[in-house]
Structure 1
Amino acid sequence: MAAINAIIIGAGPSGIAMGHKMKHELGFEDFTIYEKLDGVGGTWRTNTYPGCGCDVHSHLYSFSFNLNPNWSKQLAEQAEILQYIEDTVDKFDLRKHVHASVECLGAKWDVQNKHWAVTFRDLTTDIVFTRTATMLISAVGGISAPRDVTFPGMETFNGPIFHTARWDHSVSYKDKNIAVIGNGCSAVQVIPAIAKDAKSVKQYARSPQWYHERPNRHFSNFEKWSFRWVPFLMRLHRWNIFWSIDKQSYTYRGTDAGVKQRLKEEEEARQYIYTKAPEKYHNLLVPDFELGCKRKIADPEYLDSLNRDNVELIPEGLQRITEDGIISTSGRDDKFDIIVTATGFKVSQFLTPMDVIGANGSTLEQQWKENRGAQAYLGTFVHNFPNMAILFGPNTFPANNSALYACEVQVDYTARALVKPLLRSRAETIEVKESVENRTTNDIQLRLRNSVFSGRCTNWYIGEFGRNAASWPGLAIEFWIATLTPDRDAFIMKGGSKLWRLKSLWKTFGGSWGILGMACVAAAIHARNTRDFSAILRSKLW
């Protein structure tokens, strides 16, 4: 068999977690991480707009292999998260595996040579080149490609227009009239941040959101000391946060108990909005759809900011953009110096805009269109695309839990189902069965129909053909259980060595123990009545 190597696309949290898994847990270093940005961090390097932060508790939004006792507060902001990721890369010696400012244009599976040919463009030199790899791991994430919108007259506007993910820090917003288009997480974070210095901020929001309180106190020095030195305290704290969030997902199910709890939480959120926001906005802010239909927002003092004289909520869309402002759908004409689009990301368009071609010559985009949307077995493996895994793929997004947790679960699963079998010569190619992928995807979609994710709202979960390609229908811990042990019958495994068990044992124990173990295995295989022993061994060495 040819030497095994891997290409990882993306140096965000999931790409870093995959690199750590390969290097430090599997002892495999023949991998390269390509990143289109000028450094690591992914979405936390892309998004630098004022007020940018995380709505998941810091101790949960952390790598399990690098817990951080020094988080400054419960919900960290962008700069601190990015620094934590940079420190993790250096701590685990991963930076030398990263090639930054290199964009992946696409990849094609070479059937004859059993490897991926991946095409890149060096964004510094503009040179296009190709590299080959046994394994292709997509770690591009769901929040990597901004969802750009176009409006009539956009090109005529005399001032700057930019997306929150492309914040122009050369533009001063002090004493300026600013329009913010959108009302998702980025919009409600940026508005209170810029309102303090702007002359006016007017938000165009066509639909409401559910908001809840966002307590965000700083950790004391004693707490940081305790997290560092008291055994298991930080992991216990992390688990408590995880479970308190995860059990909320019960309210998203269509059971009697779930509906009862959801209605209770909706009333709490409704009262929170009434308490914080001006009365004139109450009817505009409170949704008529189910809590959870859209990802609920931890309020970053957005509702408080609506009480400011220089902040206004306009519950309309845009008719057109003029040279000096915006005309809304009702004909209202407002003048602006800056227009900010907070329109989110192409979350359901995975691997955008790469052109990935599978074993039968079809592109991943075309295959997914034929299936009415993106799909993958347990969010990770797609038929017709051997030796490829997608991190944070279709239907893996936890309701309100940590995306980083979901990524690490997939990293572990990818290691067990793909990387280990290839390294141990169990197979040359591994591909999920089409029937398994379709069956499990249909099951997920059926479960989602009975949840709030199919409620009466427009959300980013739903793709072009009306199918939810983002949400995981259960608890986050259920996703971990589903991926804990790979189902060997779900995969087509070709090639490999008949001696893969011996090689696996050698890698597991090494040295003299490996020799003794291999001798025992060889003796057992040729002995009589070894069927049960072999079955046990196969299950342990997957």
Structure 2
Amino acid sequence: MHKPAATSTSKIVDVVIIGSGFGGLGMAIKLREAGNDNFVVLEKAGDVGGTWRENSYPGAACDVQSHMYSFSFAPKNDWSKRYAERQEIQQYILDTTEKFGIRPFLRFNREVCGMHFDQTKGLWTVDTAAGEQFVARHVVLASGPLHVPSIPTFPGRENFKGKIFHSAQWDHDYDLSGKQVVSIGTGASTIQYAPEIAGKVARLSILQRTPAWVIPRDERAYADWEKRLFVNLPFSRTLHRARLYWSNESRAWPLFAPRVAAVIQKLAKLFINVKVKNPALAKALTPDYLIGCKRILISNKWLPMFNRDNVELIGAGIKELREHSVLLRDGRELPADCIILGTGFVTDPRIYMKDFPCTGLPGHDLTQDWKESPEAYYGTTVTGFPNFYQLLGPNTALGHNSVIFMIEAQVHYIMQCIKRLQEKGADYLDVKPQVQREFNQKLQAKFVGTAWSSGCTSWYQQAGGKNVLIWPGATWRFWLQTRRVRDADYEFVTCASQSQPAELLDAEPSAA
């Protein structure tokens, strides 16, 4: 593969961060706090936010409590309610960007199209689709696993005369009022937008492949006195966050003990039967797999929505699209003005980097190294790719607590890697193959006997059933194990040809 060489127009920095969602923002803040302003954040879009910039569909909200779904070092005392909606989360990201002075380091509309490591100099070359090139000692990939929409293909799509869009590409200019709408999928996005549009459309047909376990959502707003308490007594907010953290951690135990999960499942089933008036419909909305095997969803609006006369649940798949209808495999034809794809995102790291060539040490191409299965060391470093770090890489996603907690732990670990490299006077570090291999063998063994391995197929898994996304343990263990870098886990290398990064780039407009 061609490896572009640094040119006189290459921009040289110490760290390149790719992505400006929670991960990229958290990394940038901690670099600045450590006195390192020699970095850039490359963002493919025109503003910060990542998932929360992209997902603007009606009803978009977080399923982790507001005070947990935010940085521990950047508290927001006036969250409006227990579970924040998309607009408030995106505003928090924008406010945090300004508060910590990150905007001058942002380079928008810079989609990365390739990364290549030069072992003779210990430097990465990062190429962008805009033709710009950056050379860096360290690269932090903070693009996240949920940013490439999964778009299914249907026979006859070219014949359909109506509107089609994905939930992450919501067309706010299209008026759904009085329309015949077919919504595909019953995942986390659908259960949020469907109840919001059900009251305005003429008919809403929900196509379900597999039902999801849905539990109640705490929609309570924070009272003014609570907000004032968090402001005047910061320790009270710290205690509140701690309570939320440990209550969330307690949710993990049923996942490790299927017998306990079975008890929780009975309560979830009761919730469905109480909220859905039609017994046959309630049964169709009840999963046949152990709770926790797939993502557990939270909503107070999803189940009652099916009591509406204009909402229908359909279990048949699509055979083809016609000019003004959807033909199902059971022969039924649904009139359709609009088709909404609530089909989620591409989550396999091998797939979401398909147009992103990344070569490390000789013989290491990330696509090829991950051809069989994506693996990393604590989801952060990857053998054969020196000074290359991932945020929310393989096996760091969660099914019970806040990924912001995981991001902060990973950022701390990356900062420790950079620090150890400087202390040793080395140019790059590379996690030892046997260390990564043994780590992943032990990690996969932890899935045995858990709800995740109880027989169902989920987006946590790749073909064959291997779970490549979830961290199979308590988050406090991940935090504890990433407090410091064990020198024995890495090879520290000093290059014969020294090439130190230049000083900080001259500031350029962040919107450039």
Same fold (TM over 0.5): yes
**Alignment partner, residue 464 of structure 1:** 463
Partner Cα distance (1:425, 1:5) in 2: 17
Partner Cα distance (2:14, 2:29) in 1: 15
> Given the alignment of the two structures, is residue 132 of structure 1 paired with residue 131 of structure 2, yes or no?
no
The letter for the 2-side match of 1:47 is N
> Given the alignment of the two structures, is residue 484 of structure 1 paired with residue 483 of structure 2, yes or no?
yes
> Given the alignment of the two structures, is residue 31 of structure 1 paired with residue 34 of structure 2, yes or no?
no
Alignment of 1:75-474 (within 5 A): 75-122=83-130, 128-253=131-256, 258-278=257-277, 279-349=279-349, 352=353, 353-369=355-371, 372-416=372-416, 418-424=417-423, 426-474=425-473
1:185 aligned counterpart, secondary structure: coil
Partner Cα distance (2:314, 2:359) in 1: 45
Tell whether the 8 Å contact from 2:120 to 2:495 is kept in structure 1 after alignment. Answer: no
Between Structure 1 and Structure 2, the one with more helix by share is: 1
The superposition leaves residues 438-494 of structure 1 with CA deviations (integer Å, 9 ceiling, x where unpaired) of 111111111112211122222111113432110111111111112122221111111
Which consecutive segments of 4 or more residues in structure 1 shift more than 4 A?
none
2:226 aligned counterpart, secondary structure: helix
How does the TM-score come out when normalised to structure 2?
Answer: 0.92
Partner Cα distance (2:494, 2:324) in 1: 65
Partner Cα distance (2:454, 2:310) in 1: 34
Q: Which has the higher contact order (CA 8 A, sep 6+)?
A: 2
How does the TM-score come out when normalised to structure 1?
Answer: 0.87
Partner Cα distance (1:104, 1:300) in 2: 40
The superposition leaves residues 357-414 of structure 1 with CA deviations (integer Å, 9 ceiling, x where unpaired) of 1112432011011xx2111001101011000000001001122211111111111111
How much does 1:170 deviate? 1.5
Identity %: 34
Tell whether the 8 Å contact from 2:13 to 2:134 is kept in structure 1 after alignment. Answer: no
The superposition leaves residues 83-119 of structure 1 with CA deviations (integer Å, 9 ceiling, x where unpaired) of 0000000000001111111101110111222111111
How much does 1:496 deviate? 8.3
**Alignment partner, residue 526 of structure 1:** none
Q: Assess, with a 3 A threshold, how the Cα gap between structure 1 residues 38 and 4 changes in structure 2: closer, same or farther.
A: closer
How much does 1:34 deviate? 0.4
Partner Cα distance (1:267, 1:185) in 2: 21
Q: Assess, with a 3 A threshold, how the Cα gap between structure 1 residues 12 and 227 changes in structure 2: closer, same or farther.
A: same
Q: Name which of structure 1's ranges 396-405 and 87-96 shifts more when overlaid on structure 2.
A: 396-405
Tell whether the 8 Å contact from 2:421 to 2:428 is kept in structure 1 after alignment. Answer: yes
Q: Name which of structure 1's ranges 432-441 and 399-408 shifts more when overlaid on structure 2.
A: 399-408
Partner Cα distance (1:32, 1:85) in 2: 18
Task: Point out the structure with max Rg over C-alpha.
Answer: 1
Partner Cα distance (2:424, 2:57) in 1: 47
Tell whether the 8 Å contact from 1:4 to 1:423 is kept in structure 2 after alignment. Answer: no
Q: Name which of structure 1's ranges 351-360 and 216-225 shifts more when overlaid on structure 2.
A: 351-360
How much does 1:4 deviate? 6.1
How much does 1:51 deviate? 0.8
Alignment RMSD:
1.5
Partner Cα distance (1:426, 1:317) in 2: 60
The superposition leaves residues 53-90 of structure 1 with CA deviations (integer Å, 9 ceiling, x where unpaired) of 10100000011111101100111111110000000000
Partner Cα distance (1:422, 1:206) in 2: 50
Tell whether the 8 Å contact from 1:373 to 1:464 is kept in structure 2 after alignment. Answer: no
Tell whether the 8 Å contact from 1:425 to 1:496 is kept in structure 2 after alignment. Answer: no
Partner Cα distance (2:302, 2:346) in 1: 24
The letter for the 1-side match of 2:244 is I
Partner Cα distance (1:470, 1:408) in 2: 18
Unaligned runs of 5+ in 2: 1-11, 497-512
2:361 aligned counterpart, secondary structure: coil
The letter for the 1-side match of 2:340 is V
